[in-house]
Amino acid sequence: MTVTPTSVDEVTAGLRSAGYLPGESTALVSYLATRLGKPVLVEGPAGVGKTELAKALSRYLDRELVRLQCYEGLDEAKALYEWNYRKQLLRIQAEREGEAWGTVHDDIFGEEFLLTRPLLNAITSEKPVVLLIDEIDKTDQEFEAMLLELLSDFQITIPELGRIEARSMPVVLLTSNNSRELTEALKRRCLYLWLDYPTPEHELEIVRLHAPEISETVARRLIEVVSMVRELDLKKPPSIAESIDWARALLLLGAEDLTPELFRQTMSIIVKHRTDLDIVAERVGVKLGMAA
Ligand SMILES: Nc1ncnc2c1ncn2[C@@H]1O[C@H](COP(=O)(O)OP(=O)(O)O)[C@@H](O)[C@H]1O
Ligand SMILES: [Mg+2]
C-alpha cells in the first residue's frame, strides 16, 4: 500500500526514516506535492540532494521510482514510446499468403509492437509511482513543451492507438542544475523548491548520517572548513556529496583532528579544479595553519 501523508511533520519523519534529512521547505513542498498532485521543480547547485529527494520519497511513499535521466538530444522516442521497427519488419515478412495489408497494419501498430519508455511507463503503471525527470535543463525547449502536455493532462495520444490515459497519478519531481532558464509555462505548472547548500547544523547532521562513526571534533572542523571553502570564489564549490566523501575518507584514514597537513593531503576530495585548488591551498591552508 502506498502512503498518503496527512501532515508536513509526517513527511519530515517519513523522509528521515528513508535516510533523507529534509529542510523545512523541502518537507513542506513534498507534502503539498503529494496532496495537490502537482509536479515539483527542484532547482539548485549540483550535489545538494535533488535526485536523492526523489529516491527518498519513493522509499517513504512506498512507490516504485521511475527515472528519466535527461541529456542533450533526448527525444520522445527515448522518453515516451517508440515502435519496435525490427519486430514490425519481422511481422511483415512473416505475412501470411493472401493476407490483406489492412490486417497486417492493424497488427503491427498494436500494443505488442510498442516499446514503452519511462514517461509512458509512469502513467500507465497500475501502482502509483514516483516519476523523477532528472536534469531537465539538459534537454531543449521542444522537449519541455512535450512534457508540459503530459504533466498537465496525464494522458498522451499515440496516433495509431488513440488516447492513453493515466492509470495512476505519479508524484513527479523534475530537477535542474540551472544550466539554462526553464520556460515560464513549465514553472507555472509546478511547485517550486530551491535547494541550496545547507546550514552548518543541517550539514553536520547529514554527514553524520552517512558517516556515523566520525568523531565530533573532525565532523565539526570539516563542516567549518567546507563552509569556508564555499565562501571563496571557486569554479565549483564543494557540495554535500563532497562533504560526505571527505568525511568517509577522513574516517578511513583514522583522522582524529583536521590538521593543516591532513587538509593539504585530502583537499582534492572537496575541490576538483586545478585553479580552485590553488586558491583553497592558499586561503584556507593559511587559516588552518594559524588555528593549529
Ligand atoms: N538532506 C539530505 N539528507 C541525506 N542525504 C543527503 C541530503 N542531501 C544530500 N544528501 C546526499 O548528498 C549526495 C548528493 O545528493 P544528490 O541527490 O545526488 O545531489 P543532486 O542531485 O542535487 O546533484 C547523496 O549521496 C545524498 O545521499
Ligand atoms: Mg542529481
What's residue 285's pLDDT?
A: 77
Ligand 2 centroid to 51 CA: how many Å?
4
Ligand 1 site, residue 104, Cβ cutoff 6 A: no
Nearest-CA residue for ligand 1 atom 4 is: 20
- Nearest ligand to the C-alpha of residue 42? 1
Cα separation, 287 vs 292, whole angstroms: 9
Q: For ligand 1, say whether the CB of 228 is within 6 Å of any of its atoms.
A: no
Q: For the residues 223-247, what does the mean pLDDT come to? A: 96
93 pLDDT exceeds 90?
no
- Collapsing DSSP to helix, strand or coil, 154 comes out as coil
CA–CA dist 137, 262 (Å, integer): 38
- 47 CB less than 6 Å from ligand 1? yes
With a 6 A CB cut-off, is 150 part of the ligand 1 pocket? Answer: no
Q: How far is the CA of 241 from the centre of ligand 1 (A)?
A: 6
54 pocket-lining for ligand 1 (C-beta < 6 Å): no
Q: Ligand 1: which residue has its CA nearest to atom 5? A: 20
Express as a percent the part of the chain with pLDDT over 70: 99
Q: Please give the C-alpha separations between residue 86 and each of 93, 215, 224, in angstroms, as whole numbers.
A: 11, 59, 58
Task: Average the pLDDT over 147-155 and give the result.
Answer: 87
Whether the CB of 174 sits within 6 Å of ligand 1: no
Alpha-carbon distances, residue 233 vs 85, 228, 237 (angstroms): 52, 11, 8
Tell me if the pTM is above 0.75.
Answer: yes
Q: Is 57 in the pocket of ligand 1 (CB under 6 A)?
A: no
* Strand, coil or helix: 110: coil
Whose alpha carbon is nearest atom 13 of ligand 1?
A: 241
Mean pLDDT (whole number) for 53-82:
97
> How many angstroms is it from 239 CA to the middle of ligand 2?
12
What pLDDT shows up at residue 100?
Answer: 85
Q: Is the CB of 21 under 6 A from ligand 1?
A: yes
Residue 292 has pLDDT above 70, yes or no: no
Ligand 1 within 6 A of 46 CB?
Answer: yes
Ligand 1 contact, 42 CB (< 6 A): no
Atom of ligand 1 nearest to the CA of 175: 21
Q: Which residues surround ligand 2, an ion (CB under 5 A)?
A: 51
SS3 20: coil
- Residue 184: pLDDT above 90? yes
DSSP string, 66-80: EEEE--TT--HHHHT
Q: Would the pLDDT of 29 be above 60?
A: yes
Instruction: Report yes or no: 218 and 254 within 8 Å, Cβ to Cβ.
Output: no
Task: From the CA of 26, give the closest atom in ligand 1.
Answer: 1
Q: How far is the CA of 108 from the centre of ligand 2 (A)?
A: 38
Assign 145 to helix, strand or coil.
helix
Of the listed ranges 93-97, 124-128, 193-197, 237-241, the one predicted with least confidence:
93-97
* 240 close to ligand 1 (CB < 6 Angstrom): yes
